[in-house]
Chains A and B, each alone.
Chain A
Amino acid sequence: MLETKQNPTYKLELTSSPHIHSRWSTMQAMWLVVIAIIPTVIASVLFFGFYQLLIILVSVGFALGTEAAIKAMRKREITIKDGSGLITGLLLGLIVPPNFSLSSTALGAIVAVAIGKEVFGGLGYNIFNPALVGRAFLQAAFPVPMTTWAQPNFAADGISSATPLSAFKFDSIITNNQSLVLGNIGGSLGETSAIAVLIGGIFLIAIGVVNWRIPVSTILSLFLFASLFHTIDSVKYATPMFHLFAGGFLFGTFFMATEWVTSPLTAKGMWIYGIGISLILILIRIFGGLPEGVMYSILLMNGFVPLINKFTRPKTFGKVK
């Protein structure tokens, strides 16, 4: 028999490229994201009541449980401490409608982690944002409960519980900007309060967890596309401000489009990715059958990320074409 000598003191770490240096370790970054989500959680509980906290807790619990169960089944190290399962759970809990049933939330969390992440091999290998995979599954499985919105706590009389986007699309009702910014409107838990999302998002950019290019490119290009349509026909197409603040755009752009694993690596790639998201979003919102398309636009662009990375790879130093 051959004896292999093993050196006990050195451990060679083998990971596939790209090797990106960051101020933060994966674990630190994950916890900073969790901190950034807290204002949104507070806003959603404030507007929709304590039941929403229960939804979020169920979502997080099942996300972590599924991850641990699958890792145990595959006899791998249980990695729930890295916080990625926690974030998936939190995000999913925030993108379901208020008063959504707890059992369905749990199912969504299981699907998000099992099919959205672990099937591909775990954190770092997933192609699509796990929380959005979970939501897409719920949307297709329970279309009616997923589009039944509750009225927020401080709603003035006569404000319909429909989301501003569907109110505009199907009944041509325009919601005023102040309600949109504060979040006193119908919608999923996390997407209603623009200001809470902005606080968390800017915090993430300021400390360098999230690259500024993705949110900036999506916001700028959405503003541009929406202005274009608004100038063509100001009655038929909503204002750019409305497109920015209504629906889940800001939440998606700050917390989901920017996810490390499923967004491009190069600066140029990030711009392409951001513009792509806004383009698909505006097409769905204006010409599609659905009132909202943030989820699908991010998922679709997630699918393009490997291609974008391939085409925007920087030239090897010294290479002559």
Chain B
Amino acid sequence: MSSKPSLSNEFVKGLWENNPIFKQVLGTCPTLAVTVSAINGIAMALATTFVLVFSSLIVSLVRKLIPTQVRIASYILIIATFVTIVDLVMKAQFPELSKSLGPYIPLIVVNCIILGRQEAFASKNSPFRSVIDALGMGSGFLLALFVLGSLREIFGSGTILGLQVMPNFYEPWLIMILPAGAFLTLGLLMGLSNFYVTHKKKIEKENIIQEYLKIKAT
């Protein structure tokens, strides 16, 4: 067990280091398509997280019973079951939200983040660990979609979560709620996150050199 990372690490890695959008660049289709507003981003991320957590739990529980040859088919069946549940519940309880997310809820089935986590993590780890990992990835997805959705909503409609934040004379940039705006914003955010990571690494490296020199001097 000593070689395995701690549980908190398992959760945190999905938020930043291994963020599904900014680092793994998985599941970009729903990311780009639904983030016209912050609420859409949150709803999409929560739906995906629900599917991710429960699929990971089930896959991890039955991981030793499934023959390797049909594992992908089995994962897809399990994932599709949970996606259909989400779709039906949303249609029944939140018809407005379900309408604005349109076909992207059923399309969670083919979201690479989910199948990726089953194949890379849940099929090799204990159920508890898999759920923590799924929650971490889901939170990372939520973070990315919320930031993207908020930025697009602020610039594209002048509001955030439906509340007016821009002054009245502000003329919304329609491009931000069009597909082009999604690509531009995601690209700039990725650039920013890469810049931050390189910057952090550089500082860490310098610190190590400084420490080494200090030790050497004494």
Contacts and interface: CB of A to CB of B under 8 A. Distances in A.
A299 to B, nearest CB: 12
A140 B183 CA distance: 13
A104 B175 contact: no
B173 A142 contact: yes
Contacts of B181: 140
Contacts of A140: 174-175, 178, 180-181
A143 B171 contact: no
Contacts of B175: 137, 140-141
A160 to B, nearest CB: 25
Contacts, number: 20
Contacts of A143: 174
A115 interface: yes
Task: Please report whether the interface of chain A is mostly helix, strand, loop or mixed according to DSSP.
Answer: helix
A164 B162 CA distance: 41
B184 interface: yes
Interface string A101-114: 10010010000000
Interface string B167-196: 000010111101011001000000100000
B178 A104 contact: no
Contacts of B191: 119
Nearest to A107: B173
Contacts of A119: 191
Interface size bucket, A side?
10 to 19
Given A115-B184, A140-B180, A104 B174 contact: no
B142 to A, nearest CB: 27
Nearest to A103: B171
B171 A142 contact: yes
A167 B9 CA distance: 64
A141 B174 contact: yes
Nearest to B171: A142
A141 B184 contact: no
A137 B183 CA distance: 12
Q: Which of A101, A104, A142 has the most CB of B within 10 A?
A: A142
Contacts of A141: 173-176
Interface string A67-107: 00000000000000000000000000000000001001001
A303 to B, nearest CB: 14
A290 to B, nearest CB: 15
Nearest to A111: B184
B184 A104 contact: no
A104 B169 CA distance: 12
Given A137-B175, A140-B175, 13 more contacts: A101-B171, A104-B171, A107-B173, A115-B184, A140-B178, A140-B180, A141-B174, A141-B175, A142-B171, A142-B173, A142-B174, A143-B174, A145-B171
Interface of A: 101, 104, 107, 115, 119, 137, 140-143, 145
The 6 closest A-B pairs by CB, nearest first: A140-B175, A141-B173, A141-B175, A141-B174, A140-B180, A140-B178
20 contacts: A101-B171, A104-B171, A107-B173, A115-B184, A119-B191, A137-B175, A140-B174, A140-B175, A140-B178, A140-B180, A140-B181, A141-B173, A141-B174, A141-B175, A141-B176, A142-B171, A142-B173, A142-B174, A143-B174, A145-B171
